[in-house]
Amino acid sequence: MNLKKYFIRALHRLQKGPGYTYKELLVWYCDNTNTHGPKRIIKEGPKKKLIWFFLTLLFASLVFWQWGILINTYLSYNVTSSLSIGFKTMKFPAVTVCNANPFKYSEVKHLLKELDRLIEAALERILQPTSGNSSENASPPLDLQLWHQIPLVLIDEHDKDNPIILDIFESNHAAGGNQTAGGNQTAAGNQTAEGNQTSEGNQTTAGNQTAAGNQTTCSHQGSNNCTYRNFTSAAQAVTEWYILQSTSILSKVPLQERIRMGYQAEDMILACLYGAEPCNYKNFTQIYHPDHGNCYIFNWGMDEEALNSSNPGAEFGLKLILDISQQDYIPYLSSAAGARLMLHQQKSFPFLKDQGIYAMAGTETSIGVLVDELERMGYPYSDCTMNGSDVPVKNLYSQYNTSYSIQACLRSCFQNHMIEICGCGHYMFPLPEGVNYCNNEDNPGWAYCYSSLRSSIRHRQICIDSCKETCNDTQYKMTISMADWPSEASEDWIFHILSYERDMSTNVTLDRNGIIKLNIYFQEYNYRTISESAATTIVWLLSSLGGQFGFWMGGSVLCLIEFGEIIIDSLWITVINVISWCKGLKQRRVQARYPDAPPTVSELVEAHTNLGFQHEDGGALPRDEALPPEPGTPPPNYDSLRVQPLDVLSPDSDTE
């Protein structure tokens, strides 16, 4: 009880001034607030009071509307990009050079012998479709097992209404006139082809008939569960078919053997000069790239500190002379001749197929470099990552000890999906432990699975959503120029010297078709930094909120404190009312138990002295039964309760 009384008194002490009702509190707030508008509501006449009430309500609504827009803008976490130009000594980029041809044909010819015979026979039939003109009869029989796994067919569309499907190693079959996209025309040998392609091709057969190439991949031989790739040129179809088949063959070759069959650094890098310092193939780091075989990286920064460029200009860059040995190219695998090169950051994996450039044989290629540094803001402003640790995809390129990149993440994601769905990994991407590359012998349906997965938009979107951009990145912008090298006047002595330095022979073993000269340098030391900054900060938010509040209602932070004060006062009033209601409820419950009012002292005295003043009982007694009279009790003599005379009591006793 004491605690309850103390609590009630504390509430009354805290709630001072405004009053004990909501109306009194509201009137007190309007009369004392510093916000414009509410004070005029209670001081003006009835008409102006209504006008000021409407204006105050309107402008308060505008303030809250503007506040909502500002808060939503702040929570959207927009960024602004700024461009700044700096000047400093910069690290020379890592330079990766590869041959456009991944292997020496002389080293892999025994592995691709049957495949080459098969593609040569197919090309002969494409160019000479009539029987009797082929020289195949004199050669050993072809092994058509590879062909049946992934066949090629020609679609003759000379007659648009009746396209003819030409199976290269079987007899011709005429397709239906109005064949739909879903309809399959089955040729001899269980080879399935589509007959609804209407795009004209560039491959001309006998009789001036245009044919389009079609590549078919099925889950297993003889199955109708197939996918189709259509080409407008037989040249494209043959190249893609050969790459797919050679991938299956080379995937079974051990890595060290593939490295041996590629181009070695001492044969490929003839001369090297960095600034004024000579260098050689020993200054390059060798890695194996599935697309280009052996690649060599200069200034990768793995084993030693990255090199700095002392000055801009061609004299202070990297100069290379390369021999690509074009005469030893695989004829059906590499249709382009030259060197593939890429500039990238130190300790990053080079993805030459996406970001590399070609350098043409017989030319001197000069590459001027400009540097752009990108600085992105992290969460919550963007979904970038610092080192890839928060990316749910396992980075398969971490086995090279390279840094994270979105290209590595996308390829790792695709390889993980292929291992999960197809049961094996693709030859072009790294493998996790315990998994093998796909091949036709162990995984007959891998080509169909790979084609379906590559064309699946759903799996592609999963990888895009899972991978993140790096927050900090360096990009190298290149300005490329070329000239013939060496000139006709100097090619004789240059080829003699380079041949002697490489082969220790006076005979010329090099020619213009295999020599490439590269000059890579910084154009200038000015670098651009593109950085992101928050478009809205907490300072901007507070100033904007205060500006809107001050403009529409003439308020400030103190006005908000006043508004908070009235809310607190209203809460205290609510608590007091609740306590009063509970107290009244308790009293009503007591009155319900005792409906009559309790007797006063005089009534009690009268009841004891007057025998006739008695309450009637609820039940009447029989008349013949009379109760004996109850003797009255005189009232107590209060003076007899004193234990000492009146004159002995102290004055403080009366006060008490």
- Cβ-in-10-Å burial (0-12, 13-18, 19+) of 327 comes to exposed
Q: Render 167-191 in DSSP notation, one character per residue.
A: ETTS-EEEPPTT--TT-EEEETTTE
Percent of the chain residues topping a pLDDT of 90: 36
Whole-prediction pTM value? 0.73
368 — pLDDT class (breaks 50, 70, 90): very high
How many C-alpha atoms does 466 have within 13 Å on its Cβ side? 21
Per-residue H/E/C for 549-584? HHHHHCCCHHHHHHHHHHHHHHHHHHHHHHHHHHHH
175 — pLDDT class (breaks 50, 70, 90): very low
The Cα 102–Cα 250 span in angstroms is: 11
Tokens describing residue 140:
């050993």
Task: Lowest mean pLDDT of 72-81, 135-144, 147-156, 402-411, name the range.
Answer: 135-144
Angle at 408 between CA 407 and CA 412, to 5 degrees: 120
DSSP annotation of 192 reads E
Task: Lowest mean pLDDT of 214-223, 524-533, 553-562, name the range.
Answer: 214-223
- Choice between 225 and 190, residue whose per-residue pLDDT is larger: 225
- Residue 650's region, left for phi above 0, alpha for psi from -120 to 50, else beta, is beta
Which amino acid type is present at position 168?
Answer: I
- Name residues whose C-beta falls within 8 Å of residue 256's C-beta, 6 or more positions apart in sequence: none
* Residue 287 near residue 399, CB atoms below 8 Å: no
* CA distances to 20, 24, 84, 569 from 30, in Å: 16, 10, 54, 14
497 membership: H or E segment, kind and range: helix 491-503
Burial 243-254 (b: 16+ CB within 10 A, else e): ebbbbbbbbebe
* Residue 609 near residue 602, CB atoms below 8 Å: no
The Cα 546–Cα 551 span in angstroms is: 8
Tokens describing residue 207:
């009789």
* Residue 162 near residue 174, CB atoms below 8 Å: yes
pLDDT digits (tens, 9 = 90+) for 351-360: 999 899 999 9
Which amino acid type is present at position 375?
Answer: E
In the chain, what are the domains? 1-78+544-576 (no CATH), 81-99+268-376+472-532 (2.60.470.10), 105-125+145-162+210-261 (no CATH), 385-470 (1.10.287)
Strands 226-231 and 209-218: antiparallel
Strands 318-323 and 269-274: antiparallel
Percent of the chain residues topping a pLDDT of 70: 77
425 — pLDDT class (breaks 50, 70, 90): very high
Taking residue 424's Cβ as centre, other Cβ atoms within 10 Å add up to 20
pLDDT digits (tens, 9 = 90+) for 521-543: 999 888 889 999 999 999 999 99
Taking alpha carbons only, the member of 522, 515, 524, 465 closest to residue 495 is: 515
Task: Lowest mean pLDDT of 397-411, 422-436, 586-600, name the range.
Answer: 586-600
- Choice between 14 and 470, residue whose per-residue pLDDT is larger: 470
Taking alpha carbons only, the member of 524, 533, 617, 498 closest to residue 86 is: 524
* Residue 158 near residue 152, CB atoms below 8 Å: no
Task: Lowest mean pLDDT of 159-168, 185-194, 205-214, 361-370, name the range.
Answer: 185-194
**Tokens 């910069």 belong to residue:** 90
Q: Is the pLDDT of residue 193 over 50?
A: no
The Cα 307–Cα 402 span in angstroms is: 18
Q: Name the maximum alpha-carbon separation found in the chain.
A: 162
Q: Is the pLDDT of residue 288 over 80?
A: yes
Q: Is the pLDDT of residue 186 over 80?
A: no
Q: What's the N-to-C CA distance of the chain in angstroms?
A: 22
Taking alpha carbons only, the member of 520, 509, 510 closest to residue 478 is: 520
Give the mean pLDDT of 157-172: 72
Most confident of 188-202, 298-312, 465-479, 605-619: 465-479
Count of helices and strands (H, E) across the chain? 19, 20
DSSP annotation of 495 reads H
- Phi, psi angle pair for 560, to nearest 5°: -65, -35
* Residue 76 near residue 69, CB atoms below 8 Å: no
- Residue 577's region, left for phi above 0, alpha for psi from -120 to 50, else beta, is alpha
Tokens describing residue 100:
């456009």
Taking alpha carbons only, the member of 203, 97, 92 closest to residue 156 is: 203
370 beta partners: 477
Tokens describing residue 45:
């006449």
pLDDT digits (tens, 9 = 90+) for 152-161: 777 777 777 7
Give the mean pLDDT of 4-26: 65
DSSP annotation of 308 reads B
- pLDDT computed for residue 625 by the predictor: 53
Task: Lowest mean pLDDT of 86-100, 456-470, 536-550, 633-647, name the range.
Answer: 633-647
* Residue 506 near residue 274, CB atoms below 8 Å: no
Give the mean pLDDT of 288-299: 93
637 — pLDDT class (breaks 50, 70, 90): low
- Choice between 339 and 579, residue whose per-residue pLDDT is larger: 339
- Choice between 21 and 344, residue whose per-residue pLDDT is larger: 344
DSSP annotation of 69 reads H
pLDDT digits (tens, 9 = 90+) for 577-597: 888 888 888 888 777 766 666
The Cα 473–Cα 407 span in angstroms is: 13
Q: Is the pLDDT of residue 182 over 60?
A: no
Task: Lowest mean pLDDT of 58-72, 145-159, 400-414, name the range.
Answer: 145-159
Which amino acid type is present at position 270?
Answer: L
The Cα 317–Cα 610 span in angstroms is: 131
pLDDT digits (tens, 9 = 90+) for 68-95: 999 999 999 999 989 888 888 889 999 9
- pLDDT computed for residue 238 by the predictor: 86
Tokens describing residue 192:
């399935």
* CA distances to 291, 340, 521, 522 from 98, in Å: 10, 5, 19, 21
Q: Strand (E) positions, 157-316? A: 164-167, 172-174, 184-187, 191-194, 203-205, 209-218, 226-231, 269-274, 277-279, 284-289, 293-298
* Residue 112 near residue 246, CB atoms below 8 Å: yes
